[in-house]
Amino acid sequence: MTKHSTANWPALLDFDQQHLWHPYAKMPASTPAIGVNSTRGSRIRLADGREVIDGMSSWWAAIHGYNHPTILQAMHQQLDTMPHIMFGGLTHEPAIELAQRLVKLSPQGLDKVFLADSGSVSMEVAIKIALQYWISLKRPEKHRLLTVRNGYHGDTFATMAVSDPENGMHSLFTHMLKQHLFAPSPQMGFNRTSDNTDIVALEALLKKHHHEIAAVTIEPIVQGAGGMRFYRPDYLTQLRTLCDRYEVLLIVDEIATGFGRTGQLFASHWAGISPDIMCVGKALTGGTMTLAATLCSAAISDAISAGTPGLLMHGPTFMGNPLACAAANASIDLLLSSPWKKQVQSIEQHLQTTLTPLSELKGVADVRVLGAIGVVELEHSDLGPAIQAAALNENVWLRPFGKLVYTMPAFNIPQCELEQLTQGMTNAIATVLNDSQP
């Protein structure tokens, strides 16, 4: 990265702080955002000239790093041809090709594709599909959802209602949201041998309320923003069986876990299941454009199309944006042509080796790793800003939240940069914990 910005950054950052909302931030912001001039690979060039290693992959989306030439070339070609066209009554090659790829790669039976704007919207569409399915079958009493504690599915109203109402980020709105059913969280531990008390509790809710439940929603294997919790594949396998037994649809939210992050192309593959509805997003375009998709079975689409009004009642203005679809096609092809499984396994091994010793530090509650995900859970939730600042001093970009300090690097991060990332993360956590001791 050799380009230098001539922007008046002090003035820009002052305006930003006073006028621009950032995710989950005050207005004016309590601290200025950090200006960025450019990106390349797993490196971010800041406005002050520093280069830092990106440990976040832009919230888990930039799985190939930034500015990958293959994706940029596809986007340039599409930009010159047709950056956008309405999807109502019209179609185009990038959208069709993307749907073909998604149908081929997704768990068996998911062959109907709705192209949405973002992950939250794709989950809204999934919920709407489930509800409209039962309405079409003349069973409108099945209008509630069942989910699990510590889940997170988005920031829109339908998705807030199926995110954890107590430990999540949306408790402020709980009394305004539709009231759904919440089972206990799956027991922690990807390799855990379980007593299945979590499944027993979930089945009790299904048995009692199945007549009014349209679907179960869940993040497969990894609960993301609700706690970065990993759970056993067998839980998902049993959940699929229970949904069939009690005539309830299964919606899996693969927005964070899709496209290799856990070590399988989709986290559902760990359990060998096919959901009725699946959402993907984040890494879909390799972190270049906002795009998501909701897939469902033919049985669901047939029922909706045969019902009243016979139409799926959703249609965003920028649905199926050609530029985003072109980026997604290039990203998927790039992923499949790369040794992504070996890359993820190598990252997993490195994170295990370098982060696990942090569990011995006073103030660390747990360290866990799965695929290209490394999580350090602290005992206290007020140290995130200090750890973020300490990591920046190590030339590493992290974005802790609550008690969680975590990293999800790009799959193709060079080994030397991965080592710099984990060393900086380790130093930052150790320094702040040491300084916080009485």
Catalogue the active-site residues: 24, 152, 253, 282
Three-state SS across the chain? Answer: CCCCCCCCHHHHHHHHHHHCCCCCCCCCCCCCCCCEEEEEECEEEECCCCEEEECCHHHHCCCCCECCHHHHHHHHHHHHHCCCCCCCCCCCHHHHHHHHHHHHHCCCCCCEEEEECCHHHHHHHHHHHHHHHHHHCCCCCCCEEEEECCCCCCCCHHHHCCCCCCCCCCHHHHHHCCCCEEECCCCECCCCCCCCHHHHHHHHHHHHHHHHEEEEEECCCEECCCCCEEECHHHHHHHHHHHHHCCCEEEEECCCCCCCCCCCCCHHHHCCCCCCEEEECHHHHCCCCCCEEEEECHHHHHHHHHCCCCCCCCCCCCCCCHHHHHHHHHHHHHHHHCCHHHHHHHHHHHHHHHHHHHHHCCCEEEEEEECCEEEEEECCCCCHHHHHHHHHHCCEECCCECCEEEECCCCCCCHHHHHHHHHHHHHHHHHHHHHHCC
Query: Would you state the structure tokens that stand for residue 402, as one six-digit string?
Result: 């609550």
Q: Output the six-digit token pair for 266.
A: 């989709």
Q: Phi and psi at residue 3, in whole multiples of 5°?
A: -75, 140
C-alpha 213/C-alpha 141 separation (Å) is 8
Q: Using an 8 Å Cβ cutoff, are 62 and 327 in contact?
A: no
Beta bridge partner(s), residue 404:
377, 401
